């Protein structure tokens, strides 16, 4: 009975993770500019990784009886949760530094010029 519940819960988690990743893939195709595509991809990628890894961890511990695999999966999830947002931030900042201007829902630029995008990326908060 416990095996059946573990299988059900783990596959539900994996399926939810797959839906997250599929939604992110659709967002990458449908969104109008780099910044919204980057947001759609990074948020859903991180959410998908969480659910899929949790489902796999349940499988590793309760079905396979391999706690070392679960620990390794946890480490993969831990490092993914730190590197994915950092990479997304670095890509967005590099796009701003290169002068790529964000657009609104109509495709009109939000900023007046690429120079303003570069200045926005270089700006630092004032120290008090």
Tens of pLDDT, residues 65-124: 899 999 999 999 999 999 999 999 899 889 888 888 888 777 788 877 788 778 777 776
Task: Count CB-CB contacts under 10 A for residue 120.
Answer: 14
For residue range 8-57, what is the model confidence (pLDDT) as tens digits?
999 999 999 999 999 999 999 998 888 889 988 888 989 999 999 999 99
Count CB-CB contacts under 10 A for residue 10. 21
Domain assignment present for residue 13? The answer is yes
User: Could you tell me if residue 128 is inside a domain?
Assistant: no
In a domain, 37, yes or no: yes
Residue 57 belongs to a domain: yes
88 DSSP 8-state letter: H
Residue 95 in domain: yes
Where does residue 102 fall: left (phi above 0), alpha (psi -120 to 50 degrees), or beta otherwise? beta
pLDDT at 107: 76
Query: Which phi and psi (to 5°) does residue 103 adopt?
Result: -120, 160
Strand partners, 103: 109
Instruction: Give the separation between CA 55 and CA 113, rounded to whole angstroms.
Output: 46
Q: Calculate helix-pair angle for 67-97, 114-122, nearest 10 degrees.
A: 130
- Looking at the domain assignment, is residue 71 inside a domain? yes
Residue 127 lies in a domain: no
Q: How many CA atoms lie within 13 A of 59 on its CB side?
A: 14
Domain boundaries, position 68: 2-122
Count up the domains in the chain and report the number. Answer: 1
């Amino acid at each position: 009975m416990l095996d059946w519940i573990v299988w059900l819960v783990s596959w539900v988690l994996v399926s939810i993770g797959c839906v997250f990743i599929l939604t992110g893939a659709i967002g990458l195709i449908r969104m109008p500019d780099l910044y919204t595509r980057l947001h759609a991809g990074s948020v859903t990628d991180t959410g998908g990784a969480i659910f899929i890894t949790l489902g796999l961890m349940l499988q590793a511990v309760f079905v396979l009886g391999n706690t070392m695999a679960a620990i390794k999966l946890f480490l993969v999830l831990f490092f993914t949760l730190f590197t994915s947002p950092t990479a997304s931030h670095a890509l967005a900042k590099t796009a701003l530094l290169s002068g790529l201007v964000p657009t609104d829902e109509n495709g009109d630029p939000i900023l007046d010029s690429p120079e303003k995008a570069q200045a926005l990326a270089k700006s630092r908060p004032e120290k008090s």
